[in-house]
Amino acid sequence: MLLRDRLRVPVGEPVDLSSYGTSDIPAGPTDKAAGAEAMTGLAPRLAELQERLYASSTAGDRRRVLLILQGMDTSGKGGTVKHVIGYLNPSGCRVRAFKAPTAEERGHHFLWRIKRSLPGPGEIGIFDRSHYEDVLVARVHELVPRHDLGPRYGQINRFEESLAEDGVTVVKVFLHLSYEEQRARLLARLDNPEKHWKFSSGDIEDRALWPAYQRAYETALERCSTDGAPWYVVPADRKWYRNWAISTLLLEHLEALDPRYPEGDFDVDECRRRLLAT
Amino acid sequence: MLLRDRLRVPVGEPVDLSSYGTSDIPAGPTDKAAGAEAMTGLAPRLAELQERLYASSTAGDRRRVLLILQGMDTSGKGGTVKHVIGYLNPSGCRVRAFKAPTAEERGHHFLWRIKRSLPGPGEIGIFDRSHYEDVLVARVHELVPRHDLGPRYGQINRFEESLAEDGVTVVKVFLHLSYEEQRARLLARLDNPEKHWKFSSGDIEDRALWPAYQRAYETALERCSTDGAPWYVVPADRKWYRNWAISTLLLEHLEALDPRYPEGDFDVDECRRRLLAT
The string of pLDDT tens digits covering residues B203-217 is: 999 999 999 999 999
CA atoms within 13 A on the CB side of B94: 18
Write out pLDDT tens, residues B115-162.
Answer: 999 999 999 999 999 999 999 999 999 999 999 999 999 999 999 999
Distance from C-alpha of B205 to C-alpha of B186, rounded to nearest angstrom: 12
Class of domain B3-180+210-276: alpha beta
Nearest neighbour of B59 by CB, restricted to A93, A197, A266: A197
pLDDT value at position A60?
A: 96
Q: Which residues of A touch B (CB under 8 A)?
A: 55, 58-59, 78, 81-82, 85-86, 88-91, 93, 95, 97, 126, 128, 183, 186-187, 190, 193-194, 196-201, 204, 207-208, 261-264, 266, 268, 271-272, 274-276, 278
Report percent pLDDT > 70 for chain B: 100
Report percent pLDDT > 70 for chain A: 100
pLDDT value at position B35?
A: 96
Write out pLDDT tens, residues A30-89.
Answer: 999 999 999 999 999 999 999 999 999 999 999 999 999 999 999 999 999 999 998 999
The mean per-residue pLDDT over the stretch A253-276 comes to 96
Contact A95, A81 (CB under 8 A): yes
Q: What is the DSSP string of chain A?
A: --HHHHHBPPTTS---GGGS-SS---SS--SHHHHHHHHHHHHHHHHHHHHHHHHHHTTT---EEEEEEEESTTSSHHHHHHHTGGGS-GGGEEEEE--SPPHHHHTS-TTHHHHTTPPPTT-EEEEES-GGGGGTHHHHTT-S-HHHHHHHHHHHHHHHHHHHHTTEEEEEEEEE--HHHHHHHHHHHHH-GGGGGG--THHHHHHTTHHHHHHHHHHHHHHH--SSS-EEEEE-SSHHHHHHHHHHHHHHHHHHH---PPPPSS-HHHHHHHHHT-
pLDDT value at position B150?
A: 96
For B267, other C-beta atoms within 10 Å of its C-beta total 11
Q: Tell me the pLDDT band of B15, cut-offs 50, 70 and 90.
A: very high
The mean per-residue pLDDT over the stretch A217-245 comes to 98
Distance from C-alpha of A184 to C-alpha of A201, rounded to nearest angstrom: 15
- Contacts of residue B198 in chain A, CB cutoff 8 Å? 55
Instruction: Judge: B89–A82 Cβ closer than 8 Å, yes or no.
Output: yes
pLDDT value at position A274?
A: 96
pLDDT value at position A167?
A: 97
Q: Tell me the pLDDT band of A244, cut-offs 50, 70 and 90.
A: very high
Write out pLDDT tens, residues A126-176.
Answer: 999 999 999 999 999 999 999 999 999 999 999 999 999 999 999 999 999
pLDDT value at position B81?
A: 96
- Contacts of residue A274 in chain B, CB cutoff 8 Å? 201, 204
Q: Tell me the pLDDT band of A250, cut-offs 50, 70 and 90.
A: very high
- Contacts of residue A275 in chain B, CB cutoff 8 Å? 183, 186-187, 190, 204, 207
**In chain A, where are the structural domains located?**
3-276
Nearest neighbour of B263 by CB, restricted to A88, A97, A196: A196
Search chain B and give the residue with CA nearest A276: B183
Write out pLDDT tens, residues B68-118.
Answer: 999 999 999 999 999 999 899 999 999 999 999 999 999 999 999 999 999
pLDDT value at position B39?
A: 95
Best residue of B61, B204, B213, B260 to probe chain A, by most A CBs closer than 10 Å: B204
pLDDT value at position B130?
A: 98
- CATH architecture of the domain with range A3-276: 3-Layer(aba) Sandwich (3.40)
